[in-house]
Amino acid sequence: MQVLDEPRKVQELTEAWRRAGERIGLVPTMGALHAGHLALLARAAAENTRLVVSIFVNPTQFDRPDDFQTYPRDLSRDLRLAEEAGCDLAWTPTPVQMYPPGPPTVVEVTGLSGILEGAARPGHFRGVATVVTKLVSVVKAHRAYFGAKDWQQAVIVRRLVADLLLDLKIVVCPTVREADGLALSSRNVNLTPEERRAAPVLSRALQWGAAEIREGRRDPEALRRGIVARIAAATAAPLDYLAVVRPETLEPVPSADPPVLLALAIRFSKARLIDNLLVEP
């Protein structure tokens, strides 16, 4: 596995692969790799002849400096896991390489970026859209892989690719969970032992909501009240939002007729977690 930081060198290598007829899969990450990332890498390895992982803790998508400072980092471990997963290239740029000095160019998907996560974290999706545009422009992958846990991010990236007419397929892979249902996240390590014991209530509450919908109970407000009550019984951590929305547009629904997405965000003491569940017909 090659490890490069300079964007130009990455571009030269991936362009050579393209000329040779290789199919390139890209898994963008902020490091702190876990089984969810490894599932993305496995899917990408199976569907492409070259596998690229980017490892970059992107400062522009953090709405709070303390969250950026405490985000877990272990590059040597990440590189070992990436090589074991079959990566051909690990791209590890620095902030200065990604954001040269001077007035910045930014990319923003309006509308979709201002709701749910975007409302709770102003500027977050502008940072995501900007860095994803840079990553895919340099790597020129044929496919890029994202996890369904970050559902809104995936919706925004798909819209970005469509609007900018990029020659790229976005592949969204299922959320990987712990045995007790907690969605894997690099931020899980920041939970206290008590919070970690309580956190699986998120997936249980979403599953309850999905079961209610499948039983024909479609009132969004009643679903929200029931989910909130179940979470509140397990933890005093405040919810940022709990939404019942259309999966592709993220618009609120008057009736929770499948397909519908249940999505939430919660703030523990040192970790903000998100989760969602798609209820299909």
In the structure encoding, which two tokens stand for residue 82, read together?
A: 């990436």
**Collapsing DSSP states into helix, strand and coil, what is residue 274?**
strand
Which DSSP symbol is given to 190?
A: G
* CA–CA separation, 175 and 183 (whole Å): 7
Q: How many residues does the chain have?
A: 281
Place of tokens 């900018």: 164
Place of tokens 């490894």: 38
Angle of helix 124-139 relative to helix 151-163, nearest 10 degrees?
Answer: 60
* CA–CA separation, 123 and 64 (whole Å): 11
71-104 burial code (b ≥16 CB/10 A, e <16): beeeeeebbebbeebebbbbbbbeeeebbeeeee
- Of 25, 265, 276, 29, which Cα lies nearest the Cα of 155? 276
* CA–CA separation, 171 and 175 (whole Å): 13
Which DSSP symbol is given to 166?
A: -
**Collapsing DSSP states into helix, strand and coil, what is residue 13?**
helix
- Is 124 an annotated catalytic residue? no
Supply the residues annotated as catalytic.
37
